[in-house]
Amino acid sequence: MAKSKVISIEDVAKAAGVSITTVSRVINKFPTVKKENRAKVEEVVKRLKFKPNLAAQRLASGMNDTIGLEIPHYEGMFYSFYAMEIFRSVGIACDGLKVDLLLHLTDGKTLVNPSAVGGVVFADVINNRTHVQELLNLGMPTVIMNYLAPELEVSSVSIDNVKGAQTATEYLVNLGHKKIAFVTGDIMSQAAQQRLEGFRLTLKKSEIPLREDFILKGDYSRKSARAAAEKILELSDRPTAVFASSDDMAMEIIGFFMENGLKVPEDISVIGFDDDPVCLYGQVALTTIRQPLKEMAQMAVKELYLKMKEPQRPVNRILLSAELVIRDSVKPPARA
């Protein structure tokens, strides 16, 4: 005997002549759906005997208070200040709200199980952007942190990386630095792209020529930072300052310079981005840009929780400021 076909949400959308999102909104009783579309969907649901999946049923009934945290997996993440601060802060926020937390590490192929959660926070979006859209299509409450996606109807809590990078670069320029090297983060990430953009904008505003040999590719790892530092030392006309896209890379660069006989900041200045507490206790206390990771994570969880309780809550995009923290790794240049 042939097995009867399982009717999917896509089948309902096609038969009703509407989008998957509209079907999801009807299932979840969104009042904003047009009457004619609602009638079409309800008729098809009844005719095809469509059974909403568990995620939609739980969402509609408000039965699931578990929050999912999806974060792109990368090498060394469990040694990363950023990742550990996100884990810790999201956990504290969930504990305060008396909800469970489901952690999902993704390589971009696997999506957090929507039937196990009532809402999802994405800690950055790199190669898992389609996952955000999939959950939005299901009507799942969703919030993104550390990523701004104005083209998607999704709430977000992100950091003004462009302005943070501008602040760091302006500080160096105001001290007299005109030869500034920049070590990028992983350019696949929005944060890395924005920090490079802020650096470029400040040089242009300050009428300092952009030297392509002063822009070195990194990926937030210490290995890439060491490779960048090696290239800097090979330059015949070296920079007087280096802006690294993360504190981890900045500290590796400082260590490499000192191993090779340079003094920081006497011979060359170095500034980072993050404000990792470990950087207070290195060979030189690091000047850096502090990004409010704790506040970002906790605000994202709160925004998601409100969305879970009120599905019709409007999209809310929050942009947090980063601030300059002056320590010992930067001083005016000893040479022009």
**What is the CATH superfamily name and number for domain 67-159+293-320?**
Response regulator (3.40.50.2300)
pLDDT class for 8, splitting at 50, 70, 90? confident
* Token representation of residue 265: 């900041």
Instruction: From residue 262, give the alpha-carbon distance in Å to each of 183, 214, 236, 238.
Output: 18, 18, 15, 12
Would you call 82 helix, strand, or coil by DSSP?
Answer: helix
Please say whether the beta carbons of 133 and 156 come within 8 A. Answer: no
**pLDDT score, position 59:** 47
Q: 252: which 2 tokens?
A: 């590796």
Q: What 3-state class would DSSP assign to 145?
A: strand
What DSSP designation does 9 have?
H
Q: Which fold has domain 9-52?
A: 434 Repressor (Amino-terminal Domain) (1.10.260)
Which range, of 70-74, 76-80, 283-287, 320-324, averages the lowest pLDDT? 76-80
Question: Domain 161-291, CATH 1.10.1240.10 — does that match?
Answer: no
228: which 2 tokens?
């960048």
pLDDT digits (tens, 9 = 90+) for 164-200: 999 999 999 999 999 999 999 999 899 999 999 999 9
Determine contact, residues 216/248, Cβ cutoff 8 Å.
no
Residues paired with 271 in a beta bridge? 243, 287
| 311 vs 61: which has the higher pLDDT | 311
Mean per-residue pLDDT for 119-148? 92
Which tokens in the block code for residue 72? 């792109």
- Give the model's pLDDT for residue 101: 96
Q: Where in the chain is the domain with CATH 3.40.50.2300?
A: 67-159+293-320, 161-291
* Alpha-carbon span 155 to 153, nearest angstrom: 7
Total Cβ atoms within 10 A of residue 40: 19
Summarize pLDDT for 36-67 with one digit per residue, the tens. Answer: 999 999 999 889 988 765 545 554 444 578 99
Q: Per mean pLDDT, which range of 65-79, 195-209, 259-273, 320-334 is the poorest? A: 65-79
What is the rounded distance in angstroms from the CA atom of residue 115 to the CA atom of residue 302? Answer: 21
Cβ contacts of 1 within 8 Å, gap of 6 or more: none
| More confident of the two residues 137 and 263 | 263
In this prediction, residue 53 carries a pLDDT of 59
User: In the chain, which segments carry CATH 1.10.260.40?
Assistant: 9-52
Tell me the per-residue pLDDT of 276-295, one tens digit each, with 9 for 90 and over: 999 998 889 999 999 999 99
User: 19-28, 137-146, 229-238: lowest mean pLDDT where?
Assistant: 19-28
Matching residue, tokens 């090498």: 75
Torsion of CA 152, 155, 159, 165, to 10 degrees: 20
69 closest CA partner among 53, 89, 54: 89
Q: Which pLDDT score is estimated for 50?
A: 85
